[in-house]
Amino acid sequence: MLRFIGTSGDKAELVFDSTAVLIDSVMLDEGDAQSLANAFGAENTEFSRLIVIHEAISSQTLVVNRLLLAERAKRPTAFVEVGRKTPRLLLHPPSSFAALLETVTSHSADSSFLSLSLPDQSSPLALIPFVGYLLDYAAVYCLDESADGRNCLGGVELVLCEGFLNNSGDR
């Protein structure tokens, strides 16, 4: 979640609860996503650490905090293949995920916008684990291209739980 907390003079304090936020209540086209990125870049404040990522095939737009993305790599992530009858833990992330992550992490710090190209333009399935990772899911679902969109989680309620251990005031 992206929140604005109070102000300090003219500046809004920006707080991210996760590495990225997915803008899914409205579908932005590439021009609108670029305008959003330009607005962030023009501020030259805390917004400068943000990058707006737009993927044209799915029209998905993410706002990513570059600093938190660097920290995200230090936390464990389980990649789970769900395109079969039973889920299977993957030993390594899919190559399409690695390619997308490399594209984002190597993107110029001077630019607040990235038009993301999928490794396979015919299938947006590569976005599933990528977006899950950016949204800080501890378990990221992956679908094999041969799964034909079917998966072992069809009709299964998704329950997301979050817990915190409070130790000496730390979260």
> Tens digit of pLDDT for each residue in 58-111?
888 888 888 888 888 888 899 999 988 888 999 999 999 999 999 999 988 888
Q: Quick one: what percent of the chain has pLDDT higher than 90?
A: 20
HSE of 130, CA atoms in CB hemisphere, 13 A: 26
- Averaged pLDDT for residues 24-28: 71
Question: What does the pLDDT read at residue 171?
Answer: 46
Nearest to 94 by CA among 119, 71, 112: 119
Q: Tokens 């001077």 correspond to what residue?
A: 110
pLDDT confidence of residue 6: 39
Instruction: Tokens for 116, please give them.
Output: 């993301």
pLDDT value of residue 165: 61
